[in-house]
Chain A
Amino acid sequence: MLSAVDLAAVWLTFKLATVTTAILLMVGTPIAWWLAGAQSRFKILIGAVVALPLVLPPTVLGFYLLIALGPHGLVGQFTQWLGWGILPFTFAGLVVASALYSLPFVVQPLQQAFEAIGPRPLEVAATLRASPWDSFFTVVVPLAKPGFITAAILGFAHTVGEFGVVLMIGGNIQEKTRVVSVQIYDHVEALEYAEAHTLAGGMLLFSFLVLLALYSRKGRSAWT
């Protein structure tokens, strides 16, 4: 049913979403933890920066990424200095872009889960002589598990649904940057509506099932 090219796009999208989600859980957890506990006046500032991709058009993010990651941009000059070349048109570049783009979808559920725990369980753990690291992994992580699951699902699904940013920095290279959403766009542009329907229908079903799973989890609120 799916052509080899379409399958390659599906596999690439899955790979991109998996890598991005893994990185976001690692990077997003400390950010969310800090945001949940911080009294600093930078909290509002950082919180707003993290939430920016929620409201920015992907074209804005894509445009600035294309310039920043390009050979004349700050990041581009840094990656060239490291000998990595430039990031646009590479899988690594898509990971960087997707991580930025999906950041709030991971940080916000985590932050809310951490806030819901409150300081009390940690204080108890501290009186039992648990080190901060120990209590984070044995107390916070289990208590915030629903938040981690929500964060992972949303981060994954949002990356799968990404289009504009990838379009602007990807360069549409098969097996490297041609994800499903771009492939659908190409099919529609080339008037290959049958192929477009197969992939688009699949995306619709996938997104619906993800949200269904999210909303039906033990009747909990979808966000915590």
Chain B
Amino acid sequence: MKTWGLSLLTGLAFAAVSLTVQAAEVQVAVAANFTAPMQKIAAEFEKDTGHKALLAFGATGKFYAQIKNGAPFAVFLAADEKTPATLESEGDAVPGSRFTYAIGALVLWSAKPGFVDDQGAVLKKGEFQHLAIANPKTAPYGAEAIKVLTRLSLLDAIQPKLVTGENISQTYQFIVTGNAELGFVALSQVMFDGKLSSGSAWIVPADLHDPIRQDAVILAKGKDQPAAKALVEYLKGKKATAIIQSYGYNL
């Protein structure tokens, strides 16, 4: 019994040592809309595995250009499904490592309480100067926002009031400072622990736009990095899934 306990202790100690020996850093490119949940996941990931995830946040198109030009990222969490697929077909990602880590929800949000009603009727009334969206050319959330306005037959009326952020974070910035009265952002940006963190919002029904599938992929640079594989597995795990859902993403 005593020796059993001792060997268990030794085993644990060895496990701990080997864990610290294996602990590595993994560089991750993360879509701007996934900033908050990923910071939380990375902290848990480090606690649970000892690996450290170094996160860079930004626009998916910019990351694509950087990855094509030798950026040191091992894992890429994109804001769409197209970019990771392109990278894979061009040989810049590990084949078969692609998976959907989150399905984004679009929300019409205002920093002012009571400004946006829960049916989105505020859009039809049009009593605002500026409506902010992410650049529809480069940001999936912007493209889906345009689809929503199109399907509501409001695009022509609202077009002159549209202001465009380079990505979903800048779009949020325009709204939170009050420069735009309202705008379309990712639900993850205004939701925390299942609740709206401030202002007023209308969660756009899924039938008004196409699902915003966000895919992740292991990049060629991360092929032989155990930490990259560990992070991807961790993202698929229960703990990460719970965090992702708490920010309003579907899975």
CA of A88 to CA of B130, assembled, Å: 10
Which A16-34 residues have a C-beta within 8 angstroms of B? none
Binding site of A, secondary structure by majority: helix, strand, loop or mixed? loop
A188 and B130 contact, CB distance less than 8 A: no
A189 and B164 contact, CB distance less than 8 A: no
B179 and A86 contact, CB distance less than 8 A: yes
A71 and B178 contact, CB distance less than 8 A: yes
**Interface on B for A, CB 8 Å cutoff?**
59, 61-62, 64-65, 129-130, 132, 135, 137-138, 162-166, 170, 173-174, 177-180
B163 and A188 contact, CB distance less than 8 A: no
Interface string of A166-180 (1 = CB under 8 A from B): 011101110000000
A66 at the binding interface (Cβ < 8 Å): yes
CA of A179 to CA of B178, assembled, Å: 23
Please pick, from A86, A186, A188, the residue contacting B135 in the complex, using a CB distance under 8 A. A186
Given A89-B130, A172-B135, residue A66 in contact with residue B61 (CB < 8 A): no
Interface string of A63-77 (1 = CB under 8 A from B): 000110111100000
**B135 to A: closest C-beta gap in Å:** 6
A188 (CB) vs chain B CBs: closest residue: B65
20 contacts between A and B (CB under 8 A): A69-B179, A70-B178, A70-B179, A71-B178, A72-B178, A85-B129, A88-B174, A168-B170, A168-B173, A171-B174, A171-B180, A172-B135, A173-B162, A186-B135, A188-B62, A189-B137, A189-B138, A189-B166, A190-B137, A191-B64
A67 (CB) vs chain B CBs: closest residue: B177
The 3 closest A-B pairs by CB, nearest first: A171-B163, A189-B61, A172-B164
A86 (CB) vs chain B CBs: closest residue: B179
Number of A-B contacts (CB under 8 A): 63
Which A177-203 residues have a C-beta within 8 angstroms of B? 185-186, 188-191
> Range of interface residues on chain A?
20 to 34
Given A172-B135, A186-B135, residue A167 in contact with residue B65 (CB < 8 A): no
B179 and A66 contact, CB distance less than 8 A: yes
Please pick, from B130, B163, B179, the residue contacting A172 in the complex, using a CB distance under 8 A. B163
Please pick, from A69, A171, A189, A191, the residue contacting B165 in the complex, using a CB distance under 8 A. A171
Known A-B contacts: A69-B179, A186-B138, A189-B137. Give 11 more (CB < 8 A): A66-B179, A72-B177, A89-B130, A168-B170, A169-B179, A172-B135, A172-B165, A186-B135, A188-B61, A189-B166, A190-B138
**B120 to A: closest C-beta gap in Å:** 22
CA of A16 to CA of B130, assembled, Å: 22
Which residues of the other chain, B, contact A172 by a CB distance below 8 angstroms? 135, 163-166
Which residues of the other chain, B, contact A86 by a CB distance below 8 angstroms? 129, 179
Please pick, from A72, A88, A89, A191, the residue contacting B65 in the complex, using a CB distance under 8 A. A191
Which residues of the other chain, B, contact A168 by a CB distance below 8 angstroms? 170, 173
Which A143-165 residues have a C-beta within 8 angstroms of B? none
Which residues of the other chain, B, contact A173 by a CB distance below 8 angstroms? 162-164
Which residues of the other chain, A, contact B132 by a CB distance below 8 angstroms? 171
A187 (CB) vs chain B CBs: closest residue: B137
Most A C-beta atoms less than 10 A away, residue of B59, B62, B163: B163
A189 and B59 contact, CB distance less than 8 A: yes
A189 and B135 contact, CB distance less than 8 A: yes
Which residues of the other chain, B, contact A186 by a CB distance below 8 angstroms? 135, 137-138
